[in-house]
Structure 1
C-alpha cells in the first residue's frame, strides 16, 4: 500500500497539535505515537510500502526550518518515507523555499487552507505551484472547512481555478473533498489531474466519514488515492482500509486506490 497522507512534526509542534486536539475535540489520540520511527513502524507493519508525510507552517518564519527537518527525517527513516514541503506566503521568498525543499528531497507541497489561512488560489501561490509542477510533484490540499464545519466553503471552485492556471499541476484534495465530494467527483470526470484522498472518509467509526455510493467510488477509482491522517486519527490505522472493503469495491478498484494511482501521481511513489 501507499499512504499519501500522514503527519510527522518536530516534537514541540507535535505536542502543541496534540494539546489542540485534547482541548477542542473528543478525539482520543494519546495511544498513537508521535516519534517518527514509531509512526513509520506502524505504517510498515500494516503493509505500507511508501508514505508521504508533512508538517505545516501556520505562521511566517517557520517553513524553511520545517522543510529542512522534513527532509532530514526522511533520510533517517529510509526508503519509502516521502516528505512534502510547506510554505507560507508571508515569507520573503516562498517559491525559493519551495525550490530548496524540492532539491532537498521533498516530492511536493502540503497546504492546509484553514490552519494556514492561505487559499490555494491566492495568486501568490503561482510561482510556488509552478515549481512543484516543474518538479513533477503534486499538491496535497486540505480545502474543506471540516472538521470545524460541515458547510461548503466552495473549495471546488478554487481548485478548478488552480488547475486552469497550472496546466501540468496535479492536485490531491484531502478527506475525499468533504463536504463537497459530489462536486469533486463530477469535476474529476473532466480533469484527470485532480485526485481525492480517502483520509478519514471511509473508516466506519470516523467522525468525518462521507456518505458516498460504491458506484461513485468505482467510477472515480483511477483518481482516488489512499490516505489516513496517521497518527492523528481517533480509530485504528486499518480503519480506512476496512471501510473501503466494507463498500464491496471490486478488487481492481481497491488495488488502484491503495497503491496503483499513487504511482501515477508522482515519480516518488513509482
Structure 2
C-alpha cells in the first residue's frame, strides 16, 4: 500500500495561479495542482493514499485553506492543514480542530517565518503528539528564504519537543544534504524522500546508505507532486536495491504507522 506523504493541491479555479505563485527557481511543474490531476497521477503510480498539504502564505488565509483541505478527506486523501505565526496559538488550534485536521504543513520559503521562530515553537508546544507536522527544510529560494529552515533547526526542534510527530522533507535538507546527513542521521525524526525535480538526481548509493543509516522505519516516501511524477519517484525508490521490507516501509509502512492507517506494510 503506497502512501505519498507530500502532494500539493488547490481549488480548480485558482490552481494555475497558485502553482505559478509558489514556483521555485529552476523547477517546472509536472502536474496542474488540481485534485483530479493528483488522482490521475495516483492512478498511474498505484498510490493508494496521498497526503494533501495546505499552505497559507498569509495568516488571513489559514481558515480558508483548512476548510478546503478538510473537504478532501476520504479514503484516498489525508488532509494536512496550515498554521501561521501571525495568528495566536488558540486561533491556529481552533481552525485545525474545527475542520478535523490531524496534520500541518510548514513551508518557510512561502510563509516567510523561520523554523526557530518562537511563535512557531509555541504552536509546536501546543500540538504535543496530537498534530503531525511535515515541514520543508533546506534551500529553494533566495538567501533570506533559505535561511529560514535548516537541519540544525530540525535538530533543535526534535530535542525540544520529543512528543512532536515531525517529518522533515527532502531528507532534512534540500540542496544541503551534507548538513542533513551530519546533523540528522539517526536522530529521532522522520525524513521524507522528495528531491525535485527527481530523486534520480542524487546518487542511488548515497540515498540507499542514507536510508539504511537512518532506518527505513523513520523514512517516508513523498513525491512533492505536482513538481515531480509520483510514478517516476516510486520507481527510483524501488531501484535503490533496498530489501523488500525496507522498500515497503519507505513506500507506505512507516507513514501508515505514523498516521494510524491500516496497512499490512506497517506491521
Contact 2:51/2:78 (8 A) holds in 1 = yes
Alignment of 1:1-270 (within 5 A): 1-20=2-21, 25=26, 27=28, 29=30, 32-74=31-73, 78-91=74-87, 93-135=88-130, 137-146=131-140, 153=147, 155-176=150-171, 177-192=173-188, 194-200=189-195, 203=198, 209=202, 212-220=206-214, 221-233=216-228, 236-267=229-260
Deviation at 1:248, TM superposition (A): 1.7
Q: Give the whole-Å Cα distance in 2 for the aligned partners of 1:24 and 1:189.
A: 28
Q: Evaluate the alpha carbon distance shift between residue 181 and residue 157 of structure 1 in structure 2; reply closer, same or farther with a 3 A threshold.
A: same
Where 2:257 maps in the other structure, the secondary structure is: helix
Deviation at 1:107, TM superposition (A): 1.9
Tell me the SS of whatever aligns to 1:191: coil
For the Cα contact (< 8 Å) 2:55–2:107, is it kept in 1? yes
Structure 1 portions without partners, runs of 5+ = none
- Offset at residue 52 of structure 1 (A): 0.7
How far does residue 3 in structure 1 lie from its aligned partner after superposition?
A: 0.5
CA distance, structure 1, for counterparts of residue 24 and residue 160 of structure 2:
40
Unaligned ranges ≥5, structure 2: none
Secondary structure of the residue aligned to 1:3 is strand
CA positional deviation for 1:37: 3.1
1:195-250 CA deviation, whole Å, 9 max, x = no partner? 111112693665xx4672522322222211000011232xx331111212232222
Structure 2 SS opposite 1:34: coil
Deviation at 1:268, TM superposition (A): 5.0
Quick check: 209-218 or 158-167, which moved more?
Answer: 209-218
Query: In the TM superposition, what is the alpha-carbon distance from 1:6 to its structure 2 partner?
Result: 0.4
Q: CA deviation at 1:156?
A: 1.5
What is the aligned residue count? Answer: 257
> In the TM superposition, what is the alpha-carbon distance from 1:10 to its structure 2 partner?
2.5
Of residues 259-268 and 56-65 in structure 1, the stretch that sits farther from structure 2 once superposed is: 259-268
| TM-score, L = length of structure 2 | 0.83
Stretches of 4+ moved more than 6 A in 1?
A: none
* RMSD of equivalent CA atoms: 2.9
Equivalent residues of 1:95, 1:127 under 8 A apart: no
